[in-house]
Amino acid sequence: MGTQGEQQVNEAGHLMIDGADAVELAHTYGTPLIAYDVSAIRQQIRRFKKVFERNQVDYAVSYASKAFATVGMFQLVNQEDAHIDVVSGGELYTAIKAGFPMEKVSFHGNNKSRAELEMAVDHHIGVVILDNFHEIELLSEILKEKQQTIKVMLRLTPGVSAHTHKYDQTGQEDSKFGFDIQSGQAQKALQQVLANSQLEMLGIHAHIGSQIFEVNGFVMAAQKLVDLAADWQKKFNFETRVLNIGGGFGIQYTKEDDPLAPEEFVDAIVKAVQKQVTLRQLKMPAIWIEPGRSIAGPAGYSLYTIGSRKEVPGIRPYVTVDGGMGDNIRPALYEAKYEAVLANQATAKPDETVRIAGKYCESGDILIQKQALPKSQPGDVLVIPATGAYGYSMAPNYNRNPRPAVVFVEKGKAQVIVKRESYEDLVKLDCSFV
Ligand SMILES: *Cc1c(COP(=O)(O)O)cnc(C)c1O
């Protein structure tokens, strides 16, 4: 059951993105272009929320904004009445600019600076998710100076490692994130937080990894967190009001990926928590989740114009597009796999297998190693679906290529949500050497 579904094609044989012709989008806004299917984003958030509502569980769906953090995206997420996670002062600033309700913001990160924590306190954000002892100290100092209080959660490493790429694992004990449960660090952190009346201890958090395709890891993490909550209830009379199980729900990039539906993940998590809570005779906490990739990813499409072509006799042709690792670094960074569609011949049978190369001066700048495509011409529009998460948000300016424009498309109507970077933008911060 894919979350990406079948691509829509119009009568001209062109790929459609939420009611708009992809070829027309490319011609109107230029390429490289990132286009989001807004209906798909709305639908995904609603699907996550609905499962909690059906189960009558208190919840928050908190969009992990690092997947794609811009003013327009925050406004869309707010329209759907979801929360957001931020991991930096920059993401928080973007949320402030978007007018996002600060009480629905959670602040993550394993090295939040004093300035970032001050910003969080000044703007009265919802929750700071404490990651380490240094941070507890810093935040305590700030709150003392400002005579304020703030809600906090503890980020824990439950000792669960997800079956995913090693860079995508975060829940194992030997991780840079969070307090380890096993060694007693987590309990020590709890005691420090409980001893400070300016820290309002809301609950516990774990994020086990990313691009996960099975429920086991979430179920195990949920059990461990509830067990810990029971232990802390007994020892410290501390009631865990929120159990935050993180994000990491996998999506479909290629036909080989077979992700679970949002409903399956959430149902499994809710059932696991309910079962363990009953067993441990605890009050049912609210359950929070933090999907990033699964909200922004499937909804995003990268549109490119095909340029040069290189034949390597006896091997395969290289087809080069006008973007690459500057708008999608994931293939170079993680060997991430994608599939492409020739947008102007979206239903045509493939004639050849090509390698899709980017225009950046790196041999590793290959978007797709092997792609079956109909015969293409320079000027054709090539589209890579499922690029909405960790694409634009990771985009570097390597080779001084401007970053692409981003449009939101909803029911056939498109609007620019991030302008294309100009050459002037590229030198904006440069200073003359005198
Ligand atoms: C990155 C991250 C997420 C989102 O992960 P996805 O794989 O994009 O769903 C959620 N929570 C935390 C703490 C994260 O670091």
Q: What is the pLDDT of residues 371-416, one digit of tens each?
A: 999 999 999 999 999 999 999 999 999 999 999 999 999 999 999 9
pLDDT tens readout for residues 286-320: 999 999 999 999 999 999 999 999 999 999 999 99
Q: Which of 147, 142, 162 is nearest to 211 (CA)?
A: 162
How confident is the model over 261-287, as a mean pLDDT?
98
Q: What is the pLDDT of residue 160?
A: 81
The strand pairing partners of 353, in sequence order, are 372
* 431 among known catalytic residues: no
How confident is the model over 109-121, as a mean pLDDT?
98
Residues 328 and 287 in one domain: no
Closest residue CA from atom 3 of ligand 1: 247
Is residue 428 in a domain? no
Q: Please tell me which residue in 115, 279, 361, 427 is annotated as part of the active site.
A: 361
Residues 287 and 307 in one domain: no
Tell me the residue range of the domain where 142 lies.
38-296
Mean of pLDDT over the chain: 95
Is residue 155 in a domain? yes
CB 291 near ligand 1, within 6 Å: yes
CB 401 near ligand 1, within 6 Å: no
CA terminus-to-terminus distance, the chain? 61
High-pLDDT (> 70) share of the chain, %: 96
Atom of ligand 1 nearest to the CA of 292: 8
Does 1 have pLDDT greater than 60? no
Is residue 320 in a domain? yes
Residues 259 and 394 in one domain: no
The residue from 264, 296, 328 where one domain ends is 296
Does 173 have pLDDT greater than 80? no
How confident is the model over 87-111, as a mean pLDDT?
98
Q: What is the pLDDT of residue 168?
A: 63
Q: What is the pLDDT of residue 108?
A: 98
Contact 248, 298 (CB under 8 A): no
Rounded to 10°, the helix 38-54/71-79 angle is 40
How confident is the model over 104-124, as a mean pLDDT?
98
Atom of ligand 1 nearest to the CA of 87: 15
Give the chain's domain count: 2
The residue from 277, 296, 315 where one domain ends is 296
Atom of ligand 1 nearest to the CA of 155: 13
Instruction: Note the pTM of the prediction, 2 decimals.
Output: 0.96
Rounded Cα distance, 148 and 140, in Å: 10
Does 165 have pLDDT greater than 60? no
CB 205 near ligand 1, within 6 Å: no
